[in-house]
Amino acid sequence: MVKAGIDALFKDEKLLKRLESRKIGLVINVSSVNSALERTLDVFLEWGKARVEAIFALEHGINGVVPYMEEIKDETDPKTGIPVKSLYGRDLKSLRPGEDALSGLDAVIFDVQDAGSRYYTFVNSFTFMFEPCRKNNVEIFVLDRPNPAGCLKIEGNLVREGFTSFVGQYPLPNRHSLTAGELLNFIARKFFKDIEVVVVGCEGYERGLSFEDTGLNWVAPSPNMPSPETAVLYTGMCLLEGTNLSEGRGTARPFKVFGASYIKDPFALADRLNGEGIQGAGFLPMFFYPSCDKHAGELCGGVEIFITDRERFNSLLAGIAVLKNTLAMHRDHFRWRTEPYEFVNDRLAIDLLLGDDNIRYAIEAGASLTDIEGYFYAKAQAEFREEIRDFLIYD
């Protein structure tokens, strides 16, 4: 059975000694538990040899229940009285810890379940702490966890210059194949040079393991990430956030089902998707009523995605196929999102998610998936795979 970084830390006397008598801040949420389902916060408090001075809250809050893109406010943890400081507020400035947020701290420890896509915001938020930690001589620790999207496949294009944003701060592919510890160490070394990230790796983890194979419990890190399978789908289906399609929020199967009230013939749409040759997946027509978010309370025609072979499935291509075919069938109703997205209002959300407006142009032109994948992705993926080689922790 695999052990997460929190378990590995408390078996490592040398690292524990390094934290003894230190004042620490914890970047945690509801997913921050050990293999016995004990909260990381409680584990540190019970250990008692380091003083937890602050908790830092990412998007969705420390309880993982706040909807996406909603402000997280400073508060006090009701059980412990420890101050909770927000790392996700109303604007870009609010993503950075305040001037006194790290005051008096000796170390900051990140222990949150990531989802394996560059637009899942937890890792992005934590990198905003790098410079303040350097300035205040605060050590950075990452307690690693498995990547539920998998550590073998890379999908997508690197973020192009001019399309950086909170969901694409660095030139990473959509699906990066790294654990949070590997990714944070890579970012620190490549883009911050002299910042050290101490990564406490998972015990017994191998790159080819699915999350289900690890034996670890899945604790949903955000309201719409209910299962490891959702994380696999998320790389492609998160693109729907940049459209007026429902990505299944307000249903029991977010990012697995999608649709819209203007889709009256989901059978035809499913037929088109099944005809795209997406390996490792099948598309089933269906109807649903989302209880919130886009098309709330309206009958939506849509499709449910079934992963039949996770190793062969390319989530990003599936997401692009959904956009391409829905647009082709519903040009009078399908729209790209024009409202502000993750604190950006001067570029389309879909371009931020894809990291390149050329891919949107190809979708609008009805380019084949083969052309999109071959022209935009192959070279970037090969370059990125070579770049990360020295940062891989697991065999």
Three-state SS sequence of the chain: CCECHHHHHCCCHHHHHHHCCCEEEEEECCCCECCCCCEHHHHHHHHCCCEEEEEEECCCCCCCCCCCCCCCCCEECCCCCCEEEECCCCCHHHHCCCCCCCCCCCEEEEECCCCCECCCHHHHHHHCCHHHHHHCCCEEEEECCCCCCCCCCCECCCCCCCCCECCECCCCCCECCCCHHHHHHHHHHHHCCCCCEEEECCECCCCCCCHHHHCCCCCCCCCCCCCHHHHHHHHHHHHHHHECCECCCCCCCECCEEEECCCCCHHHHHHHHHCCCCCCEEEEEEEECCCCCCCCCCCEEEEEEEECCCCCCCHHHHHHHHHHHHHHHCCCCCCECCCCECCECCCCHHHHHHCCHHHHHHHHCCCCHHHHHHHHCHHHHHHHHHHCHHHCCCC
Average pLDDT over residues 7-36: 98
pLDDT of residue 98: 83
The percent of residues in the chain predicted with pLDDT above 90, rounded, is: 96
Write down the pLDDT at residue 375.
78
pTM summary value = 0.97
pLDDT at 99: 76
pLDDT band with cut points at 50, 70 and 90 for residue 376: confident
Q: What CATH code would you report for 228-364?
A: 3.90.1150.140
pLDDT tens string 230-271: 999 999 999 999 999 999 999 999 999 999 999 999 999 999
The CATH number of the structural domain formed by 5-222 is: 3.40.50.12170
The pLDDT value given to residue 225: 98
% of the chain residues with pLDDT over 70:
100
**Mean pLDDT for the chain overall:** 96
Q: What is the pLDDT of residues 79-108, one digit of tens each?
A: 999 999 999 999 999 999 987 899 999 999
CA angle 207, 213, 219 (to 5 degrees): 100
pLDDT at 186: 98
pLDDT tens digits, one per residue of 285-332: 999 999 999 999 999 999 999 999 999 999 999 999 999 999 999 999
Instruction: Write down the domain spans for the chain.
Output: 5-222, 228-364
